[in-house]
Structure 1
Amino acid sequence: MKPYRSMLFVPGHKSSWADKGIASGTDALILDLEDSVPPVEKVAARDVVAATIDRLTAEGVRPDLWVRVNPEETGLMAGDLEAVVRPGLTGLFLAKIYNERDIVRLDAVLSHVEKLRGLPEGQVKLLACFETAEAMGTCEAVIAASDRIVSALGATGPNADAGRSLGVEFTPEGRETLYILSRINLAARQNGRNHPVVGVWQDIRNLDGLRTFCEDTRRLGYRGLVAIHPSHVTVANEVYGPTEDEVATARRLIAAYREAEAAGSSAVDFEGQHVDIAHVKTAEEVIALADAIAGVA
């Protein structure tokens, strides 16, 4: 998966809002067919999203294009898939999954639709959003259920599906979700999905609180934010991307180690810190992330 520092939701029935999302600098757009679309407009929104994907793909836009489809239980998912699985679609943001069987069934359906559309099998990726207690309790099996799953998101904002399912009251400190966030991160990484994302931050105007939230979740292992407002993108891009100082430090560390290695040492005092090959690998990851983000930008 590309290193998405930010993924921005855009209501699928409002095509012009996708252009506003692009202008925010987000790394990926999530064209929404679920909660941000009024029920009476959900069917018509499919054609709007399909046309938006076609238009933006033809324009060669920078952000990758994702779609949040309606859950299977609504009876709308099949129609959503028929409309949006097409060239230019990177993947599907999955709402309200329950267990690994949901993923296995969807994987089979997508393979069928890809074949019908002449798309390479496996082109459509999946981002698993854990909004139910059942899904969170089986997150390891869900993430391992399909190679299409490239990332995961869990324990989203207050007074929504996740909070209601868990019965928790969300706080800015986040102690009530520390366990599940850590567990989802571990489940993702043990299955080779090394870019889990987090969200959402609902206090739209509180950018200081958002920054703290991003910094805290970065320390937990998360690498990007699913955002609900364009103003959140800049903060997420800053926090989840390595700074110039971090990249410069990583390059100096690697150079110092290689010099020591050439002299017959497998460890070195680097600016007062003990450094060995393990630290070099971490520094290399910092540089690789920065290079990948530069490629995205």
Structure 2
Amino acid sequence: MKPYRSMLFVPGHKPSWAEKAIASGTDAVILDLEDSVPAADKADARKTVRETIERLRAQGVRADIWVRPNSVDSGLFGADVEEVVTPGLTGLFLPKVFDAEEIVRIDAVVSHIEGRDGIEAGAVGLIVSYETAVAMAHCEEIAAASPRVASLLGATGPSADVGRELGFEFTPEGLETLYLRSRIVLAARANGLHHPVAGVWQDLADLEGFRMFAEGNRRLGYRGIVLIHPSHVALANEVFTPSPAKVDHYRRMIAAFREAEAAGSGAVDFEGQHIDLAHAKTAEGIIELAEAVAKN
């Protein structure tokens, strides 16, 4: 999966909001069919979301388009994916997953639709949101359940599903979810998923709090964040973009190491720090991330 610094939710039954989301500069839009859509509007929202995907595809927008369907246990998932799996959809943002078997079944359903409708096999990715205690208990198995799984997130949000499920009290510092968030990063990286995303910050007015929350998740290993308001997009993009100073630092580090290597040394003193091949590889990873962000 390409690095998403920002993924912005848009209620699926509000088609004009999609253009506002695109204008915010978000890397990806998540058209929501779940919590933000009233029960009475679910059926119409499916058609609206499909029309929105087709419209944005025709416009050639930069941002990728994801859809959050209703969960499998809601009884609405099948009708949702039948409508929204269409050319222009990057993937499904899966809520309230329980176990790996559920991912396998979802993969089979999506594969059937792709084959039936002439969509490239494997084109539709999956992002798994860990919002249940059962899912967290099977975190690693879920991450490995299908090659469609592109990223993972979960374990945050005041008064949201995961907090209710696990019984913790949300704090901005996040100690109550540190183990869970760390486990998600580990499960992602162990399965070659290099861009886990954090989420969500619900206090729309507290931008300083949002910055601290985003930076804390970045330090933990997350590469982007899911958002619920366009006003957070620019700040998210800033936090999750390697700064020019950092990129320059790592370019100098690589150059110093390569010079030492050419002279027959496996290590070098770089600006007062001992560095070797492992440090050079880390530096290359940061530069690759910065280049991927710039390209996207």
Q: Same fold (TM over 0.5)?
A: yes
CA distance in 1, matches of 2:189, 2:261: 30
Aligned equivalent of 1:88: 88
Question: Secondary structure of the equivalent of 2:26?
Answer: coil
Aligned equivalent of 1:157: 157
CA distance in 2, matches of 1:180, 1:255: 38
Question: Secondary structure of the equivalent of 1:127?
Answer: strand
CA distance in 2, matches of 1:258, 1:220: 29
The equivalences for 1:47-86 within 5 A come to 47-86=47-86
Q: Deviations over 1:189-226 (max 9, x none)?
A: 11111111110000011000000001111111111000
Aligned equivalent of 2:214: 214
| Stretches of structure 1 lacking an aligned partner (at least 5 in a row) | none
Q: Deviations over 1:139-187 (max 9, x none)?
A: 0001110010010011130101000000111011111001101111111
Aligned equivalent of 2:131: 131
Question: Secondary structure of the equivalent of 1:31?
Answer: strand
The answer to whether the aligner puts 1:273 opposite 2:269 as a matched pair is no
Q: How far is 1:42 from its partner? A: 0.7
Question: Secondary structure of the equivalent of 1:17?
Answer: helix
Q: Is the 8 A contact 2:156 2:170 kept in 1?
A: no
Structure 2 residue identity aligned to 1:104: V
Structure 1 residue identity aligned to 2:152: A
Q: How far is 1:261 from its partner? A: 1.0
Aligned equivalent of 1:142: 142
Question: Secondary structure of the equivalent of 1:88?
Answer: coil
What's the TM-score, normalizing by structure 1? 0.99
Aligned equivalent of 2:247: 247
| Backbone CA RMSD of aligned residues | 0.7
Q: Is the 8 A contact 2:93 2:126 kept in 1?
A: yes
- Structure 1's consecutive aligned runs of 4 or more residues displaced over 3 angstroms after TM superposition are none
Structure 1 residue identity aligned to 2:39: P
Question: Secondary structure of the equivalent of 1:105?
Answer: helix
Aligned equivalent of 2:111: 111
Q: How far is 1:70 from its partner? A: 0.4
Structure 2 residue identity aligned to 1:156: T
Q: Is the 8 A contact 2:128 2:149 kept in 1?
A: yes
| Stretches of structure 2 lacking an aligned partner (at least 5 in a row) | none
Aligned equivalent of 1:31: 31
Question: Secondary structure of the equivalent of 1:86?
Answer: coil
The answer to whether the aligner puts 1:183 opposite 2:183 as a matched pair is yes
Q: How far is 1:24 from its partner? A: 0.9
Q: How many residues align?
A: 296
Structure 2 residue identity aligned to 1:89: L
CA distance in 2, matches of 1:293, 1:134: 34
Q: Is the 8 A contact 2:253 2:280 kept in 1?
A: yes
